[in-house]
Amino acid sequence: MRSPCIENCVFDDRTGWCRGCGRTKPECRAWKKAQPQELRKVSADLPRRLKKLAANGR
């Protein structure tokens, strides 16, 4: 699965989520070696995370 990174890596201090793609630092580091089911799980949650960051003005 292709990485959702948009090369705008700024991590929110409160949530730990990247403001560009929504992943955490550990998720970013593990992306290439993660199992497909884990990638799908994380990918499915990214829109919710990004929406929450946007709603909180982050």
Tell whether 29 is covered by a domain: yes
Q: Is residue 3 part of a domain?
A: yes
**pLDDT higher than 90, residue 1:** no
Model pTM above 0.85 = yes
Task: Quote the number of domains for the chain.
Answer: 1
Neighbour count for residue 23 (Cβ, 10 Å): 24
| Domain assignment of residue 46, given as a range | 1-53
Whether the per-residue pLDDT at 58 is higher than 80: the answer is no
Distance (Å, rounded) from C-alpha 18 to C-alpha 4?
11
Residue 10 inside a domain? The answer is: yes
Q: Which is higher by pLDDT, 11 or 58?
A: 11
Sequence-separated (6 or more) residues with CB below 8 Å from residue 22: 4, 45, 46, 47, 49, 50, 53
Give 57's pLDDT tier (boundaries 50, 70, 90).
confident
Query: What pLDDT digit, counting tens, does each position of 3-47 carry?
Result: 999 999 999 999 999 999 999 999 999 999 999 999 999 999 999
The verdict on residue 58 lying in a domain is no
